[in-house]
A and B are shown apart, each in its own frame.
Chain A
C-alpha cells in the first residue's frame, strides 16, 4: 500500500521567516500533490509534480515554490511567511492518475 512521510510534523516560525516542508512517498511515486488546509477549511490544492516536472498549479502564492527530486521526494519552500500561512500542509501521492490519492499525516505550520 502507498504511504507518505512528511517532516517535520510541526513547525513554528516567525513572520517573514522561511520554511521548508518535506514529503517522502513510500514506495516511490512519480506523482506528488501538495495541499493546504486552513483552520476549519477544506484542503486546497497548491501544486503537483509528475516525474519531477510541475504538472499542475493551483492557488499557490508566489512566495511558495516546490520541486520533486530525483529520488521522488518533494519539498515545499515557503518564504516571507505571513500569519495567514498557518495551516496544515498535506502531501499526497497516487499510484496512477486513475486512482485515489493517499495523504500524508501533514505538517502543521504555525506562523507567529
Chain B
C-alpha cells in the first residue's frame, strides 16, 4: 500500500526565514504526490502536486516541493515564510488503484512575527 509519513509534528520558524515541511514515502509503481494546507475549522486547500517530469514543482502561495527518489522524500518548501502561512500541512499520496488519497499525520507550522 502507498503511504507517506511526516516526521515532524510541529515546525516553528521566524517570519522571513525559509520554511521546510518534511514528507517521506513508501510506495510502489508511479504514484502521485500532493500537498494540502488546512486552516482551523476549514477544508483542505490544494497547494501542489507531483505526477511526473521535473522533480521541482511550484505551487500556490509561493510554495514549492522537490521529489527526491533516492531519499524517498517530497519536502514542501517556501523561501520566505509569512505569519499567514501558520496552518496544518498534509502530505498525501494517491493510490493507483481507486485513486483515494492517503495522508500523512500532518505538520503544524507556526510562523512567528
Contacts and interface: CB of A to CB of B under 8 A. Distances in A.
Interface string A79-103: 0000000000010101001111111
Interface residues on A, range: 20 to 34
Contact of B99 (A90, A94, A104, A106): A94
Contacts of B34: 100-101
Interface stretch (A11-19, A40-48, A66-74): A40-48
Interface in B94-111: 95, 97-106
Interface residues of B, number: 23
A24 interface: no
A55 interface: yes
B87 to A, nearest CB: 14
B42 interface: yes
A103 B32 CA distance: 17
Contacts of B101: 33, 35, 43, 45, 92, 101
Contacts of B46: 100-103
Contacts of B41: 108
Given A42-B105, A105-B43, A106-B43, A99 B49 contact: yes
B49 A42 contact: no
Contact of B44 (A43, A44, A98): A43
Given A41-B105, A92-B101, A105-B42, 9 more contacts: A4-B43, A42-B104, A42-B105, A56-B99, A90-B43, A94-B99, A97-B99, A99-B49, A100-B46
23 contacts: A31-B99, A35-B101, A42-B103, A42-B104, A42-B105, A44-B103, A45-B100, A45-B101, A55-B99, A56-B98, A90-B43, A90-B44, A92-B101, A97-B99, A100-B34, A100-B46, A101-B34, A103-B36, A103-B43, A103-B44, A104-B43, A105-B43, A108-B41
